[in-house]
Amino acid sequence: MLSRFLPRFLMTFCICLFIVIMQFLWRYIDELVGKGLSIGMIAELFFYAALSMVPLALPLSILLAALMTFGDLGEHVELTALKSSGISLTTIMKPLVLLMALVAIGAFFFQNNVLPKSQVKMWTLLFSFRQTSPTLDIPEGAVYSQIPGYNIYVKHKDKERDMLYNMLIYDVSQGSTYPRIVAADSGRLTMTEDKRHLILTLYKGAWYEQMRSSSGVNGLSNDLYRRETFHDKEILIPYDANFNRMDDETMRSQYVGKNITELQHTIDSVRLKVDSAASLVISKLRSTPICGVPSQRTVYNNGKPSFETVKEIKLEEVVDVKKIIKEMPVSEQQQIINQALMHTTTAMQDLQFQGYTINDDNYVIRRHQIELIKKFTLSLACLIFFFIGAPLGAIIRKGGLGTPIVISVLLFIVYYIIDNSGYKLARDGRWEVWQGIWLSSVVLLPLGIFLTHKAVNDSAVFNPDAWLNILRRFTGLHQTRKLEAKEVIINEVDTTTAISMIDALKASCQQFLDRYPGRQRYIDYCRQGYDKSAIKALAEQVDSVVDYMSNSRDQMVLNKAMDFPIIRQLLTYCPTGNKNLGTALAALFPIGLPLWLVGLRHQKNLKRDVSQTIKTCDQLVAIFNGEYSREMEYSVAENN
């Protein structure tokens, strides 16, 4: 099993890792192209990006490899051969389960020790690339704005002589309020040896500049302009084209660059800061005077200050504040209202500012908690995807890359959507962090348990007949029998035995109809319904008669045996089977009434099938006795 699984696992892991790296490349392609970066720098970025993408590629590769391995075994009947020789599916999976346990342990240490360092390197390189100036490639007939503070328009270029013709330069390096415009017949753009400055050499042009305005006589402003013509002119422009790598310490202090110990330490520190800030806000609110009366006062005992709650002041009479304010002059009323509004606005703004600070700290705590829990989710995801892929491959029995890839991609898309949704809910504080991050595992774990249970017990999970039978039990869909003449018959049909079996079946059917003569009332249906054990026994008796008749060499007997209806075991025959639950269901009138109406229809169809069974029994007896005629068939059709 290891020799079957490991090559597929390595192959699928490389493929999945390549796919996620390509997705990373297309996402950040604009920040890499045109910067003059060497192949070594880009390769270093891709190496650290590949390490950072392992948590995405590893679960998908395990799912795909497990599907391919067990699907290939099932498709080539090797899985059936192993089971027939006494080796159970759990024994077959045991070496791979041990391998997945080792992979899960390795994934945990990778998440804790390797991933933080690789993410620090990756993001440091990426931010360094973002700050690197692009290479100079001024296009023809378009405005080039990649030089900070300058917009350059060139009508024509001579690449052999490295000359630019009909140049128009818009200089806003000193601010856009007072720009400088330079027009030149030709020019050349070069770079200094240290790659920190550009030298713009211009030939035969003019310089236009608007100077700063100054106040003139009688308060009128004098607008000053400057115009300069030149034969040749050099402009030195600051432009750092070197690659400057950022310091790793900036990213190391972020949540992506910390292990479990550092994350827990940061969470405790920030939480202590939040608790202190919240306590300060509460104490400040409590000490704020209400209507000029403080709620606490400072008491000194032996030189040590302590807070004491001020007792409430009880007024002998109720004070009508509105009446007092109305008796004041209008100016004083306005002053009181303005002061109250000012104090309220100041207090609200102060509390909002402190609330923003606390919310930012809580956001930092959530991000660190998310990263802490994600150290464990990858290991569990590897195990869950194996216990989904292995039994699913054993069930569908399709190897290769076609069907497994389709199923793997669909399952992984579901996992990614659930995981990303839970992550955003946890990050924004809408859910608890552990609820959002463990959401995908909680949703997919029951699926893995269910598929493993079905595969071990050889259950027909994807058998359409099984699902159709379940659907029929709820909806009451009609079924028809199909019998074919057997080429070899071991047990011949005995007429006496057949007639006795038919008579017994007819008596059972008549007994059932006599037991339920009319339509059940609402309360009787909810509390009792039809006896499911009697219906099951009747169905088994009908099937036994049909099985015995299938050994007949008479085609007429076979055709008539197919007229026996299939006695279905519908859930609507008896909704509860318990009188107490039935009484509760009857009390829930909006639910019980529609169920009763559907149940009455299904019960009516059942009694019709039982009546059809009695008529078919009479016709079979007539066939065995040689008394059957077409008139009996027509009379049955008319009665139906």
Q: Are residues 68 and 206 in the same domain?
A: no
> E strands within 430-581?
none
Q: Are residues 178 and 149 in the same domain?
A: yes
What mean pLDDT comes out for the span 182-186? 89
**b/e per residue, 53-73, with b = 16+ CB within 10 A?**
bbbbbbbbbbbbbbbbbbbbb
- Residue-wise pLDDT tens digits, 308-357: 666 766 777 777 878 888 888 888 888 888 888 888 888 788 878 877 78
Do the domain assignments include residue 290? no
Q: Are residues 487 and 375 in the same domain?
A: no
**b/e per residue, 179-190, with b = 16+ CB within 10 A?**
ebebebebbebe
**What does the block give as tokens for 587?**
């009390």
Beta partners for residue 235, in sequence order: 200
Of residues 42 and 61, more confidence is placed in 61
Band the pLDDT of 171: cuts 50, 70, 90: confident
Q: Are residues 440 and 489 in the same domain?
A: no
Identify the CA nearest to 546 among candidates 606, 487, 607, 480: 480
pLDDT at position 462, please? 55
- Residue-wise pLDDT tens digits, 455-498: 877 765 555 555 566 565 555 556 677 777 777 777 788 888 88
Q: Are residues 41 and 162 in the same domain?
A: no
- Residue-wise pLDDT tens digits, 618-628: 888 888 887 77
Identify the CA nearest to 549 among candidates 596, 616, 455: 616
Q: Are residues 431 and 518 in the same domain?
A: no
**b/e per residue, 590-627, with b = 16+ CB within 10 A?**
eebeebbebbeebbeebbebbbbbbbbbebbbebbeee
Do the domain assignments include residue 197? yes
Pairing between β-strand 296-301 and β-strand 304-309 as defined by DSSP bridges: antiparallel
- Residue-wise pLDDT tens digits, 73-86: 888 888 878 888 88
- Residue-wise pLDDT tens digits, 6-36: 998 999 899 888 988 888 888 877 767 666 6
What mean pLDDT comes out for the span 563-575? 82
Q: What is the CA radius of gyration of the chain?
A: 43
Band the pLDDT of 220: cuts 50, 70, 90: very low
pLDDT at position 105, please? 92
Q: Are residues 499 and 410 in the same domain?
A: no
Listed residues 411, 427, 456: the one ending a domain: 456
Stretch (H or E) spanning 180: strand 180-191
- pLDDT of 630 strictly over 60: no
pLDDT at position 165, please? 87
Q: Are residues 68 and 101 in the same domain?
A: yes
Q: How far is CA 85 from CA 80, 139, 411, 459, in A?
A: 9, 74, 33, 19
Range of the domain at 405: 2-131+368-456
Do the domain assignments include residue 343? no
Band the pLDDT of 219: cuts 50, 70, 90: very low
Do the domain assignments include residue 207? yes
Between CA 41 and CA 35 the distance in angstroms is: 11
**b/e per residue, 290-323, with b = 16+ CB within 10 A?**
eeeeeeeeeeeeeeeeeeeeeeeeeeeeeeeeee
- Residue-wise pLDDT tens digits, 153-162: 888 888 777 7
pLDDT at position 463, please? 56
What percentage of residues in the chain have a pLDDT greater than 90?
Answer: 2
Do the domain assignments include residue 624? yes
Q: Are residues 452 and 472 in the same domain?
A: no
Q: How far is CA 432 from CA 271, 359, 425, in A?
A: 15, 15, 8
Band the pLDDT of 632: cuts 50, 70, 90: low
397: left (phi over 0), alpha (psi -120 to 50) or beta: left
Q: Are residues 635 and 595 in the same domain?
A: yes
- Residue-wise pLDDT tens digits, 98-145: 999 999 999 999 988 888 888 888 888 877 766 555 556 677 888 877
pLDDT at position 48, please? 87
What mean pLDDT comes out for the span 217-227? 61
Average model confidence (pLDDT) across the chain: 80
Do the domain assignments include residue 280? no
Residue-level length of the chain: 640
Do the domain assignments include residue 498? yes
Identify the CA nearest to 234 among candidates 187, 196, 168: 187
Q: How many domains does the chain have?
A: 3
Listed residues 423, 456, 489: the one ending a domain: 456
Q: Are residues 496 and 606 in the same domain?
A: yes
> E strands within 50-110?
none
**What does the block give as tokens for 193?**
């040896």
Q: What is the pTM of this model?
A: 0.59
Listed residues 183, 206, 238: the one ending a domain: 238
Identify the CA nearest to 8 among candidates 65, 58, 62, 61: 65
**In 10 A of CB 116, how many CB atoms?**
24
Q: Are residues 97 and 182 in the same domain?
A: no
Q: Residue 16 carries which side chain, given as an amino acid letter?
A: C
Three-state DSSP state, 631:
helix
Q: Residue 597 carries which side chain, given as an amino acid letter?
A: L
Do the domain assignments include residue 517? yes
Give the strand order in the sheet containing 225-238.
143-144, 150-158, 163-171, 180-191, 197-210, 225-238
195: left (phi over 0), alpha (psi -120 to 50) or beta: left
